[in-house]
Amino acid sequence: MPSVEELYRNYGILADATEQVGQHKDAYQVILDGVKGGTKEKRLAAQFIPKFFKHFPELADSAINAQLDLCEDEDVSVNITFFSIVMSLIYLNTTTPKNLMFFIPLYV
């Protein structure tokens, strides 16, 4: 499980990569693994996952599963973060919106 520092470091790698973001699959995987950490790590992962989601279509299923893990978390602060961020996932992802729309009924 990555620490807060590792999550920020890998976020930085992706943010600095600009057009070559897709070449840093390992950095995105670390962010996906953040959902297995503590509350701080989960909240960061919830924020970082959608930001780079569109650059890693091969990890779309893993990203969705990671977000589902956050959805099912017992910590209300993680759920709130998840819910606000999942709308960004749906909005930003134009290639596979069908895969993402199933999140909405989870909170209705």
Distance CA 61, CA 16 (A): 24
Mean pLDDT, to the nearest integer, of 76-92? 68
C-alpha dist (Å) from residue 52 to 2, 43, 45, 63, 93: 18, 15, 11, 10, 10
- The pLDDT-based confidence of 76 (bands split at 50, 70, 90) is confident
Domain coordinates in residue numbering, the chain:
4-107
- The pLDDT-based confidence of 85 (bands split at 50, 70, 90) is low
